[in-house]
Structures are given as structure tokens and as C-alpha cells.
Amino acid sequence: MPQNISIASWNINSVRARLDIVERFCKEISPDILCLQETKVIDTLFPEGLFRQFGYRHMMINGQPMHHGVAIVSKLPLINRRVEDWQANGEARHISAEIGTEATKGVRLDNVYIPAGGEVPDLENNPKFGQKLAFLGRMTEWSKTVDCPTILTGDFNVAPLEHDVWSHKQLVNVVSHTKVELDLLAELKAAGDWTDIAREFVDPSQKLYTWWSYRAQDWEATDKGRRLDHMWVTPDLKDKAKSHVVHKTCRSWGKPSDHAPIMTEFAF
């Protein structure tokens, strides 16, 4: 039978530090599947109990102490766990599972946290930038091998389009919107013929952001954002996406993450 499934992605910037807004999101928005990035916790300390309270009984976790970390929590079965090390250094930046229902048989969900890349787009003076570019390159090679219906989501730390940033002119040499990053993300996208779901529902001529800096005293009034969080699908899933939303209000909840959650509704 057909099945509607909502999949959300949220860079939570420490899941344990923001349990109150995670709980609120699970209560009020209640996606079927929630992908988290920057959980910043080892697997044994991940707050499974909170999620189980709200029906998320299935979890795939890839964590580490203090930094990075990704997780998929789901009301639906998750099977066939996979982890990729696209930075080749053991950091916990990827987790993948197959959504184990009859309607989604063979559909994989990949949750990724691409490195931010530091402050300066200079390979000599900023090794983190080089690590980010190498990560994107390895992801592109992986993308060429994807051979099943796949949803790729997470914090990509790249705002690819002119209207994915508050000012293309002022950010063209700022990490997350430099030409080299945009070119590499475009290569990754082309390698798997991925569809950028958000821009299927919001015209590329319209501003769309998912991240607002903590440095802004009044982030909402200035609205100097960037679209760093993405939901992509392989060609065979493009027509399954029925809606996409950025839950911007979450950026003002309690002690917030600097990212807002994104969510896509699929009809399988």
C-alpha cells in the first residue's frame, strides 16, 4: 500500500545540550524519521530514551566525543547500517540505513555532515578547507557508485546558489559559497544525477536559508542566512517528494541551534 513518510534533517549542535528543543520538535512536528548532525556524543550516551518516548524506536547512531556525530532516529524500521569515512580520518560524519517498510523496500537514507572548512578559503593557511574539498571529492566518487533509490540529506555546509545566501556579492569569497566549493558540489550533484528537493518547491530566484549565525544580534530581523542544509534524491525518487519546508521558527526556540530543521514529505 502507498505510504506517506516525512523525513527531517537538523544540525542540532549538541543533542544533549538541546534536549528541550529536540523534545519540542518531536512533539510538535513529529516527522517519521529525523536525521541529526553534530550530535557531539558517543553512542553509549546518546539520549535514546527521549526519542523512544515519542515513538522513535529505531536508531542508527555514529558518534564520537565532543565533536561531529550523526544519527538517524525513526518511527519506521531501519536496516542494513552503513558508515562511510569520506574524510579518511575516522570522524563520525556519515550514517546510512535502508528504510525497512514494504513501500520503501530498497530505499536508502544517507545522513551526512560535511566539514565546515574553517574560516579562510586558503589551502596553505587553512588545512580544514583542504579537508572539506577532499571530503567532497570522495563523496563524488561514492556518488558514482550509488545503485539504488537513495535520499541524501544533512548539513552540506555549502550554499550552492546565488539566492542561497543573503548576499552573493559579499559572500563569494567566504567559506561555504566560494567558487571551488560550488564547483565541487555541482560535480557531486552531477555524479549521481541528484535532485535538490528544496529548489523543486522554492524557485531558485527566491531567497531560501536554513542557517543564521550566532554572531547576529537579531538574526531574524537582519535575515543574513545561508542554505547549508539539503535534501537530495536520486532520479527514481524525484516524483515521490510532495512537499518541502524549512522550520525556521525552531531557530528561535529556547537555546537554539544555528540551523533550522528541514523536512520533506514523500509518498512511496
pLDDT digits (tens, 9 = 90+) for 89-147: 999 999 999 999 999 999 999 999 999 999 999 999 999 999 999 999 999 999 999 99
DSSP assignment string, the chain: ---EEEEEEEE-S-TTTTHHHHHHHHHHT--SEEEEE---S-GGGS-HHHHHHTT--EEEEE--SSS--EEEEESS-EEEEE---TTSS----EEEEEE-SSTTTT-EEEEEE-----S---TTT-HHHHHHHHHHHHHHHHHTT--S-EEEEEE-----SGGGBS-HHHHTTSTTS-HHHHHHHHHHHHHTT-EETHHHHS-TTS---SEE-TT-TTHHHH--EE--EEEEE-GGGGGGEEEEEE-GGGGGSSS--SB--EEEEEE-
Confidence band for 217, pLDDT divided at 50, 70 and 90:
confident
Nine-digit cell string for 39: 550530535
Q: Tell me, what's the pLDDT at 87?
A: 87
Output the pTM of the full model.
0.97
Domain 4-267: which CATH number of 3.60.10.10, 3.40.50.11540, 3.10.450.50, 3.60.150.10: 3.60.10.10
Q: What percent of the chain has pLDDT over 70?
A: 100
Q: Is the pLDDT of residue 261 over 90?
A: yes
Locate the domains of the chain by residue range: 4-267
The residue-averaged pLDDT of 189-198 equals 98
Q: Tell me, what's the pLDDT at 2?
A: 78
Neighbours of 68 (CB within 10 A): 19
Q: What percent of the chain has pLDDT over 90?
A: 97
- Residue 215 CA to residue 179 CA, distance in Å, equals 24
Which residues are paired to 246 by β-bridges?
Answer: 262
Note whether 257 and 19 are within 8 A (CB). Answer: no
Note whether 188 and 136 are within 8 A (CB). Answer: yes
Q: Is the pLDDT of residue 216 over 90?
A: no
Confidence band for 88, pLDDT divided at 50, 70 and 90:
confident
Regarding beta strands 262-267 and 4-11, do their DSSP bridges make them parallel or antiparallel, or are they unpaired? antiparallel
Q: Is the pLDDT of residue 78 over 80?
A: yes
